[in-house]
Amino acid sequence: MPDISMNVYQAVTLSAVLISFGIGVFVLLKNIKNSLNFVFFVFSLCISSWCFSHFITMTKQNVATSIFYEKLFFAPVSFMPAFWLLVVYNIAGKKIENDRIGLYLARSSFILSPLCFLLTLSPFFFREITPSNLPFIKTHLVPGVSYYFFLFYWYSYATYGFCKAYSFYKKSIAHKNDQLKYFLLATFIGFLGSAIYFLSVFGIKISFPHDVLTIIYLLLMAYAIVKYRLMDIRVVVTRTAIFVAVYTIVLGLPFLLINAGKDWLIIFLGTNWWLGPLILMAILATTGPFAYIYLLRNAEAILLREQRSYQETLKQAAIGIARIRNSKKLLDFIAYTITKTVRISHSAIYLFDPEFNQFILKAGRNLNEKQPISIDKKNPLIHYLEKQNEPLVYEEVKRKSEDNPDSVFTQLESEMALLNAKVVVASFLEEKLLNILILGDKLSKRPYTSEDLHNFSVFVTEAALAIDNALRYENIEEQVRQRTKELMEVQNQLVQAEKLATVGTLAGGVAHEINNPLTAILTNVQMLLAAKPIDSELDRESLELIEEATKRCRTIVQKLMTYAKKPLESARLDKVDLRKVLDITIAFISYQLEQENIKINTQIDEGGYFVSGNHNELEQVVTNLILNAKDAIKRLKKSGIIHVAISKKDETIMIEVQDEGPGIPQGILSKIFDPFFTTKDVGKGLGLGLSICHSIIAKHKGTISVESEPNQGAVFTVQLPAMKEESKVKS
Ligand code: ADP
């Protein structure tokens, strides 16, 4: 049986040789340019060599050869203190030059390391060889004089490095803090392993395969160096510790029983004593996995308590947010929930705005005023997120940027610093980047774990759906509001048109009825005035007054009849040049305007302005608008300018008449096209001008509208459909 235990120890030590060598090479290949990776590689090689020297002590070979190889492979251990110091300073990201003692020790090691190397090979290092009293070691060397010097050198460097690592750890924050914490843990385990080794040299028996500790030590250190997402190390360490603990018991207890209780077992079981440890091993091996799972579950529940407590809140929130229809409220709620439940310093949400092609800051908590309000779509951060759909952690980006200064990570680092982002999570909808969530540090100062990031990704994906729904909903609401407004306007216009049509028909009928009696009155008055000798001057004056009044009535009636005229019949359509209409009208009334100190400023763009319609009627419209403009200006001042412009856009010709008058009060804007609506003094205005314009323009399938701000004048715009090319050719 002892042979079996011997083999187990040998296997562990040989594994330590291979694993430490493998880890060193692995770390070196991970980043060959990084000095930390290089010094760690040399350090691991020394350990590998040390383990090999230890392995030789277990083999049954010629004593002289054994001593030779044992010393040879132990010799590189002399270089470990120097490299250990370099590992400490490198992992903490500090310069050894800035530490006086550190620098002194490093310089001294240039002499001490080779000196110890030679000493280990010399006869002063090991005095003699004795058979070992340990079950698994055949022989061991008895320490010589220089061995004590070596131990002093080795442990003083190790202790100084450890204390230095501890002070770096104390002063560090967040990610670095966590990294150094586990580095210290690893170192402690390593120290324990080395102590067991050195004690065994002094013949102190500790029956434990301490190279297991060496393997754990190196694995932990390699993990801390290579794995950027060190944040999960708590979980990794716990899992490993439970695994090692459970299997140490499963394998260790039977051996302990063999080593310590063999005599006792023989008393009970006689020659079958080995059945005892065998049965114990069978029982432990069966229950081991269950114990492992049980312990793991409980340990993780404690470790991940922080995440699990907010995870539930986020889950509930994700259900709740689907019902919020207002996007502003929704984004505020998301920022609030994540900041409060995860307990982080600040958060910000940027939403993509296709109009500006930018991500705009829409909501946030505890942001300072320097927080950028937008992120351009071309920003390298956006590019990266679009390609690699995974959260970005500032500490990781920073480390990658330090390793490769010219890589994309350098840009990402500065962008994230600008955004004050410790974590950036992107959310996608149908493979389109919809929004970006920015988070600050955790208030607990703990680093973000991958479970955290996973939780955030799930939450923002659900939130993205809710945000998209809310935006769509708001869009539909806006469209409905817009359509309703348009409908109301059309309805108002319809009512107005209907009113005008009714008034027109009525007026037309009435005018027709009045026209005949008026003609009779006028004819008779004129006959009376012409034919008979008039009795008195008074009678003549009366008759002339009647004639004058009747004529005025006839003018009104004729205007009313124009207003009420039926739509133009297509057969009577002429090709009208609006430029000519304007020229003639202006020439016709310019004298009158000049008398009143009013100037006309015309602006006619190049091109033809042909419409199909009635030249005289269109002249009437322009005259009316210009005379109204003149009246408006005169109400305010003695002189002024009327701007008349004609232009063409697509298939529509526009005539604009703008004045410098007092404008039209909002309250009467809707009434000015009504027949008989006037604000002018009695006798000055009939209130028919604009309503006639309206009816003429409507007959020409056009529109007339007005825009006016108080004291800014008024602009009347007539829009008429331009004549089509082919009809122009025909005519
Ligand atoms: P009238 O000119 O006989 O009053 P209109 O139908 O031409 O009749 O005009 C109706 C009313 O519209 C006017 O009395 C006036 O109050 C207003 N109006 C028309 N044009 C203007 C203008 N350019 N500036 C201010 N008010 C105007």
80-105 pLDDT, tens digit each: 999 999 989 988 888 888 889 999 99
Least confident of 100-109, 122-131, 346-355: 122-131
Which residue, judged by its Cα, is nearest atom 16 of ligand 1? Answer: 679
Cβ neighbourhood burial of 128 (10 Å; 0-12, 13-18, 19+) = exposed
678 CA to middle of ligand 1, Å?
Answer: 6
Q: Is the CB of 629 under 6 A from ligand 1?
A: yes
Q: Would you list the domain boundaries of the chain?
A: 2-212, 231-303, 307-475, 568-721
Residues 608-652 pLDDT 10s: 899 999 888 898 899 899 999 999 999 988 999 999 999 998 889
Q: Is 643 in the pocket of ligand 1 (CB under 6 A)?
A: no
Q: Please determine, for residue 400, whether its predicted confidence score (pLDDT) is greater than 70.
A: yes
Structure tokens at 277: 């440890």
pLDDT at 420: 92
Best probe residue, ligand 1, of 656, 672, 682 (max atoms within 8 Å of C-beta): 672
Per residue, what are the HEC states of 228-254? CCHHHHHHHHHHHHHHHHHHHHHHHHH
Q: What is the predicted pLDDT for the residue at 652?
A: 93
pLDDT score for 697: 92
Q: Which atom of ligand 1 is nearest to the CA of 684?
A: 3
Once rounded to an integer, what is the mean pLDDT over residues 510-516?
Answer: 82
Residue 686, ligand 1, Cβ within 6 A:
yes
**What's the rounded Cα separation, in Å, for the pair 67 and 135?**
19
Q: Per mean pLDDT, which of 137-151, 481-495, 696-710 is the most reliable?
A: 696-710
User: Under DSSP, is residue 652 helix (H, G, I), strand (E, B) or coil?
Assistant: strand
pLDDT band at residue 346 under the 50/70/90 scheme:
very high
- Amino acid of residue 700: H
Distance 686 CA to ligand 1 centre (A): 10
Confidence of residue 2 (pLDDT cuts 50, 70, 90): very low
Could you tell me if the CB of 714 is within 6 A of ligand 1?
Answer: yes
Ligand 1 pocket check for 692: Cβ under 6 Å:
no
- Ligand 1 pocket member 674 (CB < 6 A): no
**CA 681 to ligand 1 center in whole angstroms:** 11
- When pLDDT is cut at 50, 70 and 90, the band that residue 713 belongs to is very high
* Token pair recorded at residue 139: 């022989």
Residue 672 in contact with ligand 1 by CB distance below 6 A: yes
The pLDDT of residue 45 is 93
CA of 425 to the centre of ligand 1 (A): 63
Write the DSSP symbol of residue 614: -
Q: How many residues does the chain have?
A: 731
How far is the centre of ligand 1, averaged over its atoms, from the C-alpha of 637 (Å)? 17
CA of 649 to the centre of ligand 1 (A): 28
Q: For strand 392-393 and strand 423-429, is the pairing parallel, antiparallel, or unpaired?
A: antiparallel
Stretch 433-437: mean pLDDT: 89
Cβ neighbours of residue 649 closer than 8 Å, sequence gap 6 or more: none
| CA distance linking residue 157 with residue 46, whole number of Å | 15
Q: What angle do CA 130, 131, 137 make, to 5 degrees?
A: 120
The token pair that represents 176 in the structure block: 């670095």
pLDDT score recorded for residue 725:
59
Given a cut of 50, is residue 569 above it in pLDDT?
no
Cα of 690 from ligand 1 centre, angstroms: 7
**Cα 671 to ligand 1 centre (Å):** 10
Residue 3's pLDDT is 46
Q: What are phi and psi of 524, to 5 degrees?
A: -65, -40
pLDDT-based confidence at residue 1 (cuts at 50, 70, 90): very low
Best residue among 690, 696, 717 to mutate for probing ligand 1's pocket (most ligand atoms within 8 Å of CB) is 690
> What is the pLDDT averaged over residues 323-333?
86
Tokens of 615: 């030249």
Kindly report the backbone phi and psi dihedral angles of residue 210, in degrees, each rounded to the nearest multiple of 5, phi listed first: -65, -15
Q: Answer yes or no: is the C-beta of 27 below 6 A from any ligand 1 atom.
A: no
pLDDT top residue among 229 and 46: 46
How far does Cα 548 stand from its chain's mean position? Answer: 81
The tens digit of pLDDT for each residue in 163-181 reads: 999 998 888 766 677 778 8
Q: Is the CB of 92 under 6 A from ligand 1?
A: no
Whole-number pLDDT of residue 729: 38
pTM summary value: 0.45
Helices (H), 685-730: 689-699, 725-730
Q: Nearest CA to 565 among 507, 494, 623, 496?
A: 507
Homologous superfamily, domain 307-475: GAF domain (3.30.450.40)
Residue 497 has pLDDT above 70, yes or no: no
Residue-level pLDDT at 284: 85
Q: What is the pLDDT of residue 731?
A: 37
Give the pLDDT score at 727: 46
Q: How far is the CA of 584 from the centre of ligand 1 (A)?
A: 23
- In whole angstroms, give the CA distance from residue 146 to residue 331: 71
- Give me the pLDDT at residue 687, please: 80
Q: Do domains 307-475 and 568-721 have the same CATH topology?
A: no
For ligand 1, whether the C-beta of 636 sits within 6 Å is no
CATH fold label, 568-721: Heat Shock Protein 90 (3.30.565)
713 Cα nearest atom in ligand 1: 24
